[in-house]
Amino acid sequence: MGAIQRVGVLGCGLMGAGIAEVCARAGSDVVVVETDERSAAAGQARLMKSLDRAVVAGKLGPAERDAAAARLRFGTGFDAFADRQLVIEAIPELPELKLDAFRRLDAAVADLEAILASNTSSIPISRIAAVTTRPGQVVGMHFFNPVPMLNLVELVPSLRTTSETMARTRDYASFVLGKKVIAAPDRAGFVVNALLIPYMLSAIRMLEAGFATAEDIDTGMEHGCAHPIGPLRLTDLVGLDTTLHVATSLYEEFKEAQLAPPALLMRMVESGRLGRKSGCGFYDYS
């Protein structure tokens, strides 16, 4: 099978762009696919801006930036993934979109030993794998935003993921990307979000009930518990829509009251207040 050198990334939003960037910076040949030319161009611009920031910050030399950029190609068709050894899906956290994407990836990727990985933060991998003809090669590979800065990857096997798939994916994440890998169970939320989302929802409920202001909630956790960022600022960074999707998946699986999305969260998403990416959430970023 050989070492993984040819990588595909489906989706070039915040997560997809970050994943593509770290793969290219690590020396992989990377193909990025988006839904249309406009989205592909926007994703490419986002990624290049991130590479430029890394140069300004002294984390990357100009020659290294140019070399990483040269390893990236952008397109709009699944056929671009035909020769990939690993494809990482990073599209919105909507089950119907992800299942359709994996049906199409299964048909497009020629090598039956190629790994199809999902960056899902909450959808069970067994459900995703079931729509393919190669469930043994499907795995969860959950990165964290911002991907170039946060070092963790959750590796999530389904009951049918082979040991070879797990070993190859772990080796790529650990030794090529230089990430810290933890094994996570194939259940909604995996490890990190199963702990994190209830915490974020509790902060939203506290704000909703008028117990404290957003600023005081965040300041309390930042200075009282040494958290680098408060729960409401973190929700804005993650995206309120993503938080809602993950909370909904957790609640559907476990039916625990603390996992039910608060009404305030649902109303804010319906109103387009999605956090940093929309310019406003619990805070104003305009």
Residue 2 confidence (pLDDT)? 72
Residues 54 and 160 in one domain: yes
The amino acid at 257: A
Q: Residue 152 — φ and ψ, nearest 5°?
A: -95, 145
* Alpha carbon distances (Å) from 206 to 201, 229, 248: 9, 17, 19
Question: What does the angle CA 105 – CA 30 – CA 177 come to, to the nearest 5 degrees?
Answer: 105
pLDDT in tens, the chain (286 residues): 678 999 999 999 989 999 999 999 999 999 999 999 999 999 999 999 999 999 999 999 999 999 999 999 999 999 999 999 999 999 988 889 999 999 999 999 999 999 999 999 888 999 999 999 999 999 999 999 889 999 999 999 999 999 999 999 999 999 999 999 999 999 988 999 999 999 999 999 999 999 999 999 999 999 999 999 999 999 999 999 999 999 998 999 999 999 999 999 999 999 999 999 999 999 999 8
Q: What is the dihedral of CA 246, 130, 111, 24, to 10 degrees?
A: 0
Tokens of 222: 């930042």
Residues 167 and 199 in one domain: no
Residue 1 confidence (pLDDT)? 64
Query: Under DSSP, is residue 29 helix (H, G, I), strand (E, B) or coil?
Result: strand
Residues paired with 32 in a beta bridge: 9, 74
| 87 domain residue, yes or no | yes
Domain end, chosen from 160, 183, 206, is at 183
Residues 111 and 10 in one domain: yes
Running DSSP on this structure, what letter comes out for residue 1?
-
Residues 30 and 142 in one domain: yes
* Residue entry with tokens 């958290």: 227
Element (H, E) at 10: strand 6-10
Largest CA distance in the chain: 57
Residues 67 and 176 in one domain: yes
**Model pTM score:** 0.89
Residues 15 and 134 in one domain: yes
146 vs 167: CA distance, rounded Å: 25
Say which CATH number the domain at 84 has.
3.40.50.720
Taking each helix axis from N to C terminus, what angle separates 263-270 and 240-254, rounded to the nearest 10 degrees?
140
**277 contacts 145 by C-beta, under 8 angstroms:** no
Per the structure, the complete domain to which residue 99 belongs is given by 6-183
Tokens of 173: 């994440």
Domain end, chosen from 116, 151, 183, is at 183
The amino acid at 12: C
Catalytic residues: 121, 142, 154, 193
Q: Residue 29 — φ and ψ, nearest 5°?
A: -80, 120
Residues 71 and 198 in one domain: no
Residues 174 and 224 in one domain: no
- Closest of 148, 119, 145 to residue 234, by C-alpha: 145
Domain count, the chain: 2
Say which CATH number the domain at 257 has.
1.10.1040.10
Taking each helix axis from N to C terminus, what angle separates 231-238 and 214-224, rounded to the nearest 10 degrees?
110
- Beta 180-183 vs 6-10: how paired, if at all? unpaired
Order of strands across the sheet that contains 115-118? 72-75, 29-33, 6-10, 86-89, 115-118, 138-142, 152-157, 180-183
Residues 178 and 196 in one domain: no
Residues 167 and 271 in one domain: no
